[in-house]
C-alpha cells in the first residue's frame, strides 16, 4: 500500500515537472515589454517663482527606469525623469549625466543661472525626449522646444527646493546652448 502511494506521488511529481518544462518556453517565448515600475512615487512641488508658475504651476516629479527592448542585448537601462505640471505640461527626459555647476551656457555658469551655492559639486543633465505643452500655455522654454534639462536639488539637508533650467540648442558647455528661464519649486 505504501509502495502504491509512493508510486502515485512520483508519477504526479514527474507529470508536474513535464508540464513546467513545456510551459517555461525557450528563446521563442514572448518577453515582457512593459516599463519597469517607478523607483519612487511622484514628489509634489509648488511653484516658487514667476517662471515656474507660468511654465507648469504645481509640479509632480517622478523617476523611473526604462529597460531596453527584449531583442536588444546591447541596450542599457535608462533613467527617465517625468515632470507633470498642474496646467497639463508633461515633459519626459532621459539622464545623460552630471556636470559641474561651473559649466558655461551662453556665457554664464550654471551656478549663476541657477543661483546655487558654491559648494554644490554637480547638477544633473537630462536630454528632453518629449514635451507636451498645455493648450495656449508655454513650456520649459516658453514657445521654444527644450533640448536639455538641468536639474538641481540640494545634496545635503536644508530647504526642500528644486531648480530646473531648460536649454535650447546643445547640452551644457556647447557653443550653441542657450538657457531658458530658471524655474524654482519648493517641496509641497
What is the b/e burial string over 97-115, where b = at least 16 CB atoms within 10 angstroms of the residue's CB? eebebebebeeeebbebbe
| Predicted pLDDT at 70 | 72
Q: Write the CB contacts of 172 (distance below 8 Å, at least 6 apart in sequence).
A: 99, 103, 104, 105, 110, 125, 148, 150
| Predicted pLDDT at 73 | 67
| Predicted pLDDT at 8 | 54
| Predicted pLDDT at 71 | 73
Lowest mean pLDDT among 38-52, 65-79, 136-150: 65-79
Burial class (CB in 10 A: 0-12, 13-18, 19+), 154: middle
| Predicted pLDDT at 1 | 47
Percentage of the chain lying above the pLDDT 90 cut: 59
Q: Write the CB contacts of 155 (distance below 8 Å, at least 6 apart in sequence).
A: 120, 121
Q: Which helix (H) or strand (E) holds 52?
A: helix 50-55
CA distance 162 to 187: 8
| Predicted pLDDT at 134 | 87
Ramachandran region, residue 11 (left: φ > 0; alpha: ψ -120 to 50; beta: rest): alpha
Yes or no: say if 151 and 113 are a contact pair by the CB < 8 Å rule.
Answer: no
Yes or no: say if 187 and 180 are a contact pair by the CB < 8 Å rule.
Answer: no
CA distance 127 to 146: 9
Q: What is the pLDDT of residues 83-141, one digit of tens each?
A: 999 999 999 999 999 999 999 999 999 999 999 998 889 999 999 999 999 887 778 99
Q: What is the pLDDT of residues 162-182, one digit of tens each?
A: 999 999 999 999 999 999 999
Amino acid at each position: 500500500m505504501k509502495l502504491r502511494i509512493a508510486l502515485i506521488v512520483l508519477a504526479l511529481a514527474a507529470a508536474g515537472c513535464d508540464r513546467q518544462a513545456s510551459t517555461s518556453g525557450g528563446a521563442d517565448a514572448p518577453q515582457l515589454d512593459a516599463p519597469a515600475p517607478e523607483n519612487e512615487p511622484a514628489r509634489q512641488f509648488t511653484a516658487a517663482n514667476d517662471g515656474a508658475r507660468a511654465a507648469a504651476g504645481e509640479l509632480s516629479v517622478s523617476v523611473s527606469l526604462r529597460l531596453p527592448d527584449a531583442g536588444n542585448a546591447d541596450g542599457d537601462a535608462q533613467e527617465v525623469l517625468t515632470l507633470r505640471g498642474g496646467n497639463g505640461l508633461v515633459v519626459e527626459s532621459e539622464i545623460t549625466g552630471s556636470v559641474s555647476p561651473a559649466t558655461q551656457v551662453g556665457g554664464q555658469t550654471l551656478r549663476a543661472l541657477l543661483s546655487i551655492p558654491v559648494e554644490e559639486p554637480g547638477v544633473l543633465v537630462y536630454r528632453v525626449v518629449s514635451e507636451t505643452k498645455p493648450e495656449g500655455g508655454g513650456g520649459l522654454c516658453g514657445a521654444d522646444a527644450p533640448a536639455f534639462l538641468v536639474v538641481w536639488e540640494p545634496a545635503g539637508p536644508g530647504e526642500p527646493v528644486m531648480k530646473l533650467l531648460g536649454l535650447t540648442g546643445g547640452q551644457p558647455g556647447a557653443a550653441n546652448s542657450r538657457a531658458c528661464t530658471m524655474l524654482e519649486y519648493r517641496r509641497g
